[in-house]
Amino acid sequence: MLKAGQTILLPKPGQATLHLWVVVLVPDSVTHETVIVNLTSQKTHSDNTVVLQPGEHPFVQHPTVVFFADARIVDAKHITAAMQADTGQPHQDCSAALLLKIQQGLFASAMTPQKVKFFTDSQLKAKK
């Protein structure tokens, strides 16, 4: 079962390039839904709500942003299946501080889809 802070190298649907995706929430115990976000190189037009520097995660080699516009609600079973089929590669987990930074950024970013914010908020409140 996936856990919050876990990272996985996965391609976006229809693409071959692997991106590092971060599991933002513990998957729901009934629906298995969770939220994932991916990291991408910082560009001039990037959403700079959360910028990671080298050293904040072993994958990060240069200024990198969390691509909140592409945040997704996914079935954790599909990600687990991708890892079992070797189309997804586990990477080192985020630190607790980095996970919190990403979770806070998800709410702060104007680019995060509203349905993702609502789902994340409801899941975090249910865990308290």
Task: Delineate the domains of the chain, giving CATH numbers in brackets.
Answer: 7-127 (2.30.30)
pLDDT tier, 125 (very low <50, low <70, confident <90, very high otherwise)? confident
Residue type, 15: Q
- Tell me the two tokens of residue 115: 């349905």
Share of the chain above pLDDT 70, in %: 99
* pLDDT surpasses 70 at 120: yes
Cα distances (angstroms) measured from residue 77 to each of 2, 29, 38, 82, 114:
8, 11, 18, 9, 23
Task: Tell me the whole-structure pTM to 2 decimals.
Answer: 0.94
* pLDDT surpasses 70 at 128: no
* pLDDT surpasses 70 at 13: yes
Q: Give the SS3 label for residue 4.
A: coil
The model's pLDDT over 65-102, given as tens digits with 9 standing for 90+, comes to 999 999 999 999 999 998 898 888 999 999 999 999 99
Residue type, 54: P
